Amino acid sequence: MEKVVLLNALVPPPGAGIIEISEPLSLEKILPIVINTQKLESYIGHEATAKLLTKLFGKEVQMNRSMYIPKHGDIAIIVRLKKRLEKPEDIENIKQEDLEFRTIKYSMK
Residues 54-92: tens digit of each pLDDT: 999 999 999 999 999 999 999 999 998 877 777 766 666
Q: How many domains does the chain have?
A: 1
- Looking at 30-39, 40-49, 56-65, 94-103, which range is the least confident one? 94-103
* Whether 51 contacts 59, CB under 8 Å: no
CATH number at residue 102: 3.40.50.11170
Sign of the C-alpha dihedral computed for residues 86, 91, 97 and 101 taken in this order = positive
Radius of gyration of the chain (CA): 14
Q: Read off the pTM.
A: 0.88
Domain containing 35 equals 3-108
Supply the pLDDT for residue 57.
95
